[in-house]
Copies of this chain bind each other. A is one copy, B any other.
Amino acid sequence: MSRTAGSSGVKTLETIKKAALRLIYEHGYDAMTLRGLANKVGIQQGSLYNYFKTKQELLFMLVSSHMEALTEQQEKALAGIDDPVEALRTFIRFHIDYHISRKHEVFVNYSELRSFTPENYKIIADMRSQYENRLIDIIIKAQKAELVPQYDAKVAAYGILAMLTGICQWFNPKGRLSKEEVITTYMSMALSALQVRASH
């Protein structure tokens, strides 16, 4: 389809995705209509079908493209880092930095897991696991090197991820604390929570 292949097609797709993300963030997936979306973008409803066939496909596209970009950036950030504590520090900084400016994506990725078909849910859940497993693996590596105690690495990773992602719920870029101040505070909290040996 020429509209999706050309640069104007790519631009329209980005506009559609942004508008859809906003509508789902504000009203939820079930309440969002393709008619309302077309109105918001300022195109005919029929034109949407150049970019996706169903509302479900749109949701999957939104969430999976976020997860793909996230995992790609995660790999890039952690590439070549061998020391587990250095990897933990890098992961913590990366996770906060990436999500803090994407609160709409974070909200929709979490709240609309309910709205996927079982097939799509499984794909998204696997993508989430892949991202989380990277942190779990770092913790296990730190445990093997006796740099942290022998707690349940998976449960610990979930705790850290929830703590860090929770920043999106209250952080205000124009607020009292800068992003760097937040990263400093949470870096300290997360490393302490994991009980990284003080000597390291």
Contact = CB atoms under 8 A, between A and B. Distances in A.
Interface of A: 25-31, 107, 110-111, 114, 151-152, 155-156, 158-163, 165-167, 169-170, 177, 182, 185-186, 188-190, 192-195
B31 A28 contact: yes
Contact of A152 (B25, B26, B151, B185): B185
A182 B155 contact: yes
B152 A177 contact: yes
5 contacts: A151-B188, A162-B162, A163-B166, A189-B194, A192-B195
A159 B162 CA distance: 8
Contacts of A169: 110, 158, 162
A177 B163 contact: no
Nearest to A107: B111
A166 B167 CA distance: 12
A161 B163 CA distance: 8
